[in-house]
Amino acid sequence: MEEAADLLCGTRPTAVSLPNAVRYVMQGVQKAATLEEAQHALHDRATAFIHDSLAAVEKIAEIAARQIPNDAVIMTHCNSEAAIACIIRAHEQGKVREVYATEVRPRNQGYITIQMLSDAGIPVNFIVDSAARMFMPKVDLVITGTDAVTANGAVVNKIGTAQIALCAHEARKPFIVAAETYKFAPRTILGERIPIEWRPPEEVIGSEKQLPPHSHGEKSRI
């Protein structure tokens, strides 16, 4: 179990919700005196975490819906269960006119977002990432999720979030980050930095292409 926990935590170093969940489950396993106790602790704690996670998203959606004005036009970036829940809850209250969702290159998680919003009956505009500033004057607010929240309140999220936040600030549009408490990175209290996950350049340029000899491809933050 310790080996499995370390392997899982190492897969997504930036998204602290995964290691936080693993640590929560492993606390029960580590305190067990027998194999049977460890098995029960694993099941009970995993079930409790899932239940608390779903309840947290519901509560976040309830709170955020109060901050969304009537006939709102919303922009969102990447695919966040919490952010989508906020938009859907406001839509159920008759507050949402339409949503602008970014494509989120290079893995295009925006496709998942527009599918979920469309399934909920919400009109969605699918825009390229670089068009966020162009469409910002049309929206009333921005809602995103986050991979991690630090001790000073900073958030770490999908690449491109910072540019959208700056565009929102420039246009004087509210920027809401929807996050569960398990997105908090406790080690940042001690000054530890959140590691940023870097991916191979092939995810951007494709495996069939090669960079020119004198160019230096930056890895993509996923």
Per-residue H/E/C for 98-133? EEEEECCCCCCCHHHHHHHHHHCCCCEEEECHHHHH
Q: Are 197 and 219 in contact (CB under 8 A)?
A: no
> Residue 156's beta-bridge partner residues?
148
Backbone torsion region of residue 98, taken as left when φ is above 0, otherwise alpha when ψ lies between -120 and 50, otherwise beta: beta
167 is catalytic: no
The catalytic residue among 9, 78, 119, 140 is: 78
The catalytic residue among 9, 44, 147, 167 is: 147
> Residue 125's beta-bridge partner residues?
100
9 is catalytic: no
Catalytic amino acids?
A: 78, 147
